């Protein structure tokens, strides 16, 4: 409650109090202003969204965020084209989405594999060590365990096949990293211009102590080793 005193006209020495009981407080005014600002933001957002919906063509798909339109051909093709990946979401690609025609969510083309969530990827990408379906369903143990690899390929523990030269190269090329274990690599002999990682993989010598990790166990950047390499180099240059 607030009040204020004013002098009376008939007697300037006597004052009366005017009460402001029914007037809104500053706090209430602030609450109302915040509410109005919030409603304005909501209305603007709604108008922008309606505009974006209107701007997408008939053969286009509208991404939820970013107000972007993409070609319907890119929906459920295994590659995320919307920033929010809405074009590859499980709900959409399983065919539950009502905003698309059936042709966009129907079977994959010949030579393509249907990911568990619904998208399509090239059949050659199944069990190749790299996740190509957004949900990784092209590289599961269930799918790959019965896989046989040619002599030119290394077989990952879960069954994927990668090229032989990719095993023990310092980088995990099998999704489970089984191409870069001590068990597989420790007996490897490295060419003269290569450095042998602590667990046995071979990387180019110039990648040792270059402040980037090139062995999966990071042994190419071990501090002690790099210190001694540096002091050896400075000795060489001083002589
Ligand atoms: Ca793959
Ligand atoms: Ca590798
Ligand atoms: Ca390095």
User: Which helix (DSSP H) or strand (DSSP E) does residue 47 occupy?
Assistant: helix 26-55
Residue 85's SS3 state is: coil
For the CA of 125, the nearest ligand: 1
Instruction: Write down the pLDDT at residue 215.
Output: 97
Worst-scoring range by mean pLDDT, 91-100, 131-140, 195-204?
91-100
Q: What is the largest CA-CA distance in the chain?
A: 114
CA of 126 to the centre of ligand 1 (A): 5
Mean pLDDT of 80-100: 72
Residues in the chain: 239
CA of 174 to the centre of ligand 1 (A): 10
**What are residue 195's DSSP bridge partners?**
203
> How far is Cα 150 from Cα 162, in angstroms, rounded to an integer?
10
Model confidence pLDDT, tens digit, residues 204-217:
999 999 999 999 99
Question: Would you say 125 and 138 are in contact if contact means Cβ atoms under 8 Å apart?
Answer: yes
CA of 153 to the centre of ligand 1 (A): 15
Instruction: Write down the pLDDT at residue 50.
Output: 55
Worst-scoring range by mean pLDDT, 30-34, 47-51, 109-113, 189-193?
47-51
User: What are the DSSP E strand ranges found in 125-221?
Assistant: 153-155, 161-163, 194-196, 202-204
Model confidence pLDDT, tens digit, residues 164-214:
999 999 999 999 999 999 999 999 999 999 999 999 999 999 999 999 999
For the CA of 199, the nearest ligand: 2
More confident residue, 40 or 21: 40
Mean pLDDT of 147-166: 96
For the CA of 113, the nearest ligand: 1
Q: State yes or no: pLDDT of 30 exceeds 60.
A: yes
CA of 172 to the centre of ligand 2 (A): 4
Worst-scoring range by mean pLDDT, 106-115, 135-144, 145-154?
106-115
Report residue 69's pLDDT band, with 50, 70 and 90 as the boundaries.
Answer: confident
For the CA of 160, the nearest ligand: 1
Worst-scoring range by mean pLDDT, 3-7, 33-37, 137-141?
3-7
For the CA of 200, the nearest ligand: 2
CA of 2 to the centre of ligand 3 (A): 73
- DSSP 8-state assignment for residue 108: P
Instruction: Write down the pLDDT at residue 51.
Output: 55
CA of 199 to the centre of ligand 3 (A): 15
For the CA of 174, the nearest ligand: 2
CA of 124 to the centre of ligand 1 (A): 8
Instruction: Write down the pLDDT at residue 3.
Output: 44
Residues with Cβ within 5 Å of ion ligand 2? 166, 169, 171, 173, 179
Name the CA dihedral angle for 121, 78, 140, 186, rounded to a multiple of 10 degrees.
Answer: 90
Worst-scoring range by mean pLDDT, 17-26, 44-53, 82-91?
44-53
CA of 149 to the centre of ligand 1 (A): 15
For the CA of 185, the nearest ligand: 2
For the CA of 217, the nearest ligand: 3
Q: State yes or no: pLDDT of 57 exceeds 50.
A: yes
Q: State yes or no: pLDDT of 28 exceeds 90.
A: no
């Amino acid at each position: 409650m607030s009040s204020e005193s004013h002098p009376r006209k008939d007697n300037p020495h006597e004052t009366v109090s005017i009460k402001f009981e029914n007037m809104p407080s500053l706090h209430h005014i602030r609450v109302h202003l915040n509410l109005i600002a919030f409603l304005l933001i909501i209305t603007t957002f709604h108008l922008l969204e309606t505009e974006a919906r209107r701007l997408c063509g008939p053969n286009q798909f509208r991404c939820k965020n970013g107000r972007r339109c993409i070609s319907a051909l890119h929906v459920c093709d295994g590659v995320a084209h919307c920033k929010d990946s809405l074009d590859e979401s499980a709900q959409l690609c399983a065919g539950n989405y009502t905003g698309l025609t059936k042709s966009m969510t129907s079977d994959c083309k010949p030579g393509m594999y249907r990911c568990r969530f619904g998208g399509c990827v090239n059949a050659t990408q199944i069990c190749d060590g790299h996740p190509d379906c957004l949900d990784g369903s092209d590289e599961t143990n269930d799918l790959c365990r019965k896989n046989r690899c040619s002599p030119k390929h290394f077989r990952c523990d879960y069954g994927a096949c990668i090229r032989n030269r990719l095993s023990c190269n310092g980088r995990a090329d099998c999704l489970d990293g089984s191409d870069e274990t001590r068990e597989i690599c420790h007996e490897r002999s490295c060419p003269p211009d290569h450095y042998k990682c602590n667990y046995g993989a071979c990387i180019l010598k110039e990648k040792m102590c270059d402040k980037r990790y090139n062995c999966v166990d990071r042994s190419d950047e071990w501090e002690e080793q790099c210190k001694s390499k540096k002091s050896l180099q400075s000795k060489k240059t001083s002589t």
